[in-house]
Structure 1
Amino acid sequence: MGIQGAAESASWQAPTAVEQGLYEAGSGENWPVFFDILAGTDLYFPMSRELMDAVPGSIPFRPFRDPKFDGLALAVFTRGMLEPPVGDHVFERSDLRSLARVWPKSVRWLAVNPGTPVEAFLPADPKRWKRHAKNPPTEPQLKTLWTGDRHGPLAHGMACGAMLLVNNGSIWNHLGWQWGGYTEEKELLRKWWGVTGRAEWLETVERLLNGEVVSPAWEFVLRVRQALVLEYGVLPEASQWRETAERVLVSRTAEVVDQTGRPPEFDLDADIELVQELIGRVLRYEARFRADGLLDGGRCVRSVMAWDFGRASCMARWGLGARYGERDETERALLRVGDASRQVYRSWAEFAVGFVLGRCLHFDSEEFGDWYTDMVTVHQILSTEPDSPWLSVPWEQSPADLTER
């Protein structure tokens, strides 16, 4: 067994750390390391989209013959070697442990990344695969596609989704999204978003890009505080913030009554109570952010629009993986994500705390559980690791980059 064809392309650039590790281990015939890497990463089977739509949830084996090897082979690809999502060609995700359990006896070879500069044909040995799969090495949370966009407006739009993608262990700058595999991507969109087709995906992307999914109440209280900061140059006391928010609500209600001549169709007292409670929640979260190093002492969260923009960055690619959209549609959405984010925020640091606060207001309920602590970990990773887009993708994009897109 061995690496085939790598010498044919001396200038070949490994797309991710996985392919680089497999190439080095295979070239040096360090098979224990090779199988450890293979056992610790996702493997993808090429499939027919028509077939997977007809039989969702199954991965029917499709062995092939290679003239260089005697007997049938089964192809799997690592994530960096996946072709862009086009036509009827899709990929389904699995791993070495699962493959070892169901390996067909008639197949003699496992073909890893066949037809690429880093292909390897491995004799079928499910028992060995199971041993390596017992304690596989843990992949880093921050994953970068080295051959993908890493600078410029498109990279900026993708980086806006980095907190969610790094938390999930996904590649932050993978445009041709196929992370979970075709069937899994469709199921996740259905389960979490109720998206089951193209029209729903397009509508969801648009709502996220327009900041229409976050609660208007969250954004209202933050805008009231920002207005006070602009007027007085300092952060307001909690009492001033609450009193001002209440006055604004009362004033808006009076305008509605004057315009309609009828009492409002909403409960003003309930709205005031909600806003007062929200201000308290925001202040307590910000205090925790400062204690955990997410927020500098004299700063505050400007907006929670990042919660929508960050998810829009991901949604644009999730829909591509589920084949609800086309590549050019995903690219345009990502560019809009970057534009919208730069209009609201002035740095990755500001964007990050806006995203975290939106996530916590949505899910955490001041429990400071995983919905929050996971973000503290991701924030530390993105603030310090050299491959982080926060360190390699400037927040401000040059006029030349923006016009060349």
Structure 2
Amino acid sequence: MSLPDIPAIATAAGAPVDGPAGQALALGAPEALRHRTYWNSPELPDAVGAPVTIRAEERTHIERIVGKPIHRQSWLDAADDYLRGRHINATAGERALDIREDVLDDSRDVYLDVDAWLTAVGAAGTDKEWADHEIDAVSRAAVKAFQIERQLTDDGLLPAGKRVWTYMAYDLAGAVYLVQAGFRLGFADPALAAQILDAARDNAAAIFGDWQQFGISYLAARSCLHGSYPCDDVWRDASSTVRILLDDPSSPWVTLPFPAAEAADG
């Protein structure tokens, strides 16, 4: 039987659906829909009651994330990199966004046109003594981000004149996904999982204000990292995922408030 174009939200009975634990797990919901897993449990929807294990295709995906043979330490290192944003911060796309934020922090403007952005990238590259290929990569990422924001606005997800300031939602969603996958790999334990999930919730609360902001950041990152230009298959898949999470009454993004900084501090 073929899978639907937009996967249904799978919620496991008896697993967290509310409170801080539910909020933390909901950060990984985009990756859960992407990989056809429960958003709130490491069990697989097509193997309820069976020993928690991992599909062959998911193991291959995690090998790509980890970039080395999978063992407990390599899995933990990858989860920590995503939790702390080390993965996304090393990309040309996040560097491009950071440069724009630096420029806007020193001005009264709320947006930067693409020509001024490219000029700022060139200046930053010179100041940081980047190689030509690094400047070129960040310049291309800036143009791509400009196109992504235009498409987000055309699609009604990003208000006109607003911008995507970080792709960090992608890493936080990835960190939560890796926690769930860690149980399927046999590496995770409840105490360690709780520690990572608490930190992911705190980080999300410090960066984003609501699920809409988080979803836009995730969608933009997916397109920047894995797509060409909107609207390709990557865009359509990620956009469908974000829309269903924002709109479906059964979605944790609808039933749960976004993590708040006050809750994170407590």
Range into which the TM-score falls when normalised by the shorter chain: 0.7 to 0.9
Q: Deviations over 1:46-91 (max 9, x none)?
A: xxxxxxxxxxxxxxxxxxxxxxxxxxxxxxxxxxxxxxxxxxxxxx
Paired with 1:241 and 1:398, the residues of 2 have a C-alpha distance of: 31
Structure 2 residue 86 is matched with structure 1 residue 212: yes
Match of 1:168 among 35, 40, 51: 35
- Aligned residue in 2 for 1:297: 160
Contact preservation (8 Å) 2:6, 2:241: no
Counterpart residue identity of residue 81, structure 2: R
- How many pairs are equivalent? 256
1:147–1:210: structure 2 CA closer, same or farther, 3 Å change rule? Answer: same
Q: Please state which structure has a larger fraction of its residues in strand.
A: 1
Measured after TM superposition, the shift of residue 139 of structure 1 is 10
- Which structure's relative contact order is higher, taking Cα pairs within 8 Å and 6+ residues apart? 2
The separation in 2 between residues aligned to 1:401 and 1:209, in whole angstroms, is 15
Partner SS for 2:86: coil
Aligned residue in 2 for 1:193 = 62
In the TM superposition, 1:384-403 aligns within 5 A as: 384-397=247-260, 399=262, 403=266
Distance 1:226 1:152, change over 3 A: farther
**Secondary structure of 1:394's match?**
coil
- Correspondence for 1:361 among 206, 210, 224: 224
Give the Cα separation in 1 of the matches to 2:250 and 2:113.
39
User: 1:71-150 counterparts in 2 under 5 A?
Assistant: 141-150=8-17
Moved more, 194-203 or 156-165: 194-203
**CA offset at residue 320 of structure 1?**
0.8
1:277 aligns with 2:146: no
The separation in 1 between residues aligned to 2:209 and 2:181, in whole angstroms, is: 27
Change (3 A) 1:290 1:202: same
Report the RMSD for the aligned CA atoms in angstroms: 2.8
**Relative to structure 1, is the Cα distance of residues 329 and 188 closer, same or farther in structure 2, using a 3 angstrom cutoff?**
farther
2:21 to 154, 159, 177: 154
Q: What is the distance in 2 between the residues matched to 1:168 and 1:282?
A: 25
AA in 2 matched with 1:248: A
Choose between structure 1 and 2: higher helix proportion: 2
TM-score w.r.t. length of structure 1: 0.57
Counterparts in 2 of 1:138 and 1:192: CA distance versus 1, 3 Å: closer
SS at match of 2:209: coil
| Larger radius of gyration between Structure 1 and Structure 2 | 1
Q: Confirm or deny that 1:343 pairs with 2:233.
A: no
Aligned-residue offset at 1:146 = 4.9
Q: Which runs of 4+ in 1 moved over 6 A?
A: 134-140
Aligned residues with identical type, % of pairs: 21
> Aligned partners of 1:209 and 1:216: how far apart in 2?
15
Q: Which runs of 5+ in 1 are unaligned?
A: 1-133, 254-265
Deviation at 1:398, TM superposition (A): 6.8
TM-score (normalizing by structure 2):
0.84
Structure 1 range deviating more: 304-313 or 390-399: 390-399
Report the Cα offset of residue 280 of structure 1.
Answer: 0.8
Structure-1 separation of matches of 2:199 and 2:222: 21
- In structure 2, do the counterparts of structure 1 residues 136 and 277 end up closer, same or farther at CA, with 3 Å as the change threshold? closer
**Aligned-partner Cα distance in 1 for 2:263–2:97:** 33
